[in-house]
A = this chain, B = another copy of it.
């Protein structure tokens, strides 16, 4: 049984900030957002967690291995180096979808995303060390088969992008509704999903769904671990095995 620890990261009162006193230069907003994401990735990743950029103003992290003090330190580091602050809601559970819903509630209960007086919420709880196991996190690393040959080298860059985007849209919705999983585009043709305790037929089913809906063939490697990095790294190795053996679903 998995026990995923999810942190919702929300920039405080960001919408109003972007247009006060006047709209801010878009390139500066893009730089701010992507650097903040990169910093969070390093700070969380340094303790074997994962952060996904999602909408950039709302990011989703898998934080098995980080305690509340680690969260507080990251919050402080952002405050010390950025013109904005961040709120964290932390929740755990066997279903990643439910954990994220609970984490969201913690932040929503404290006020609106555009509430001037709601700042640096740090709420929720982590899995105590004694209850952590090697099966807490299941990560699936999905990849489009031969994206370079079929799309990148063949179509115009936006046409290729639309194909990948369609595969992503189809997979993320299906995994959410049918399999209680959170799927995130991570660049190129790669999608990483945070899953409950799924078996091979569940992944076959998802890949089949995407092929039917979009015609795009996916492959997936699946791994487990006590942290997102351990699970994700096992998933990457499984994906390499899948590539070598032309198998669509590979468990580590």
Which A residues are within 8 Å of any B CB, using their own CB? 8, 14-15, 19, 23-35, 37-39, 41-47, 50-51, 53-58, 60, 73, 76-77, 79-83, 97, 100-101, 103-105, 108, 112-114, 148-149, 152-162, 164-166, 169, 172-173, 176, 182, 186-189, 192, 229, 232-233, 236-237, 239-240
User: Is there contact, CB below 8 Å, between A176 and B162?
Assistant: yes
Give the number of times this chain occurs in the complex, counting copies. Answer: 4
Q: Cβ of A164 and Cβ of B55 under 8 Å apart?
A: yes
What are 23 A-B pairs with beta-carbon distances under 8 A?
A25-B80, A26-B232, A28-B81, A30-B37, A30-B38, A30-B186, A34-B35, A34-B37, A34-B41, A39-B42, A42-B42, A42-B43, A54-B157, A55-B160, A55-B187, A57-B187, A58-B161, A104-B157, A105-B156, A108-B153, A112-B148, A162-B172, A169-B169
B152 touches A31 (CB 8 A): no
Q: Which of B26, B37, B58, B240 contacts A152 (CB 8 A)?
A: B58
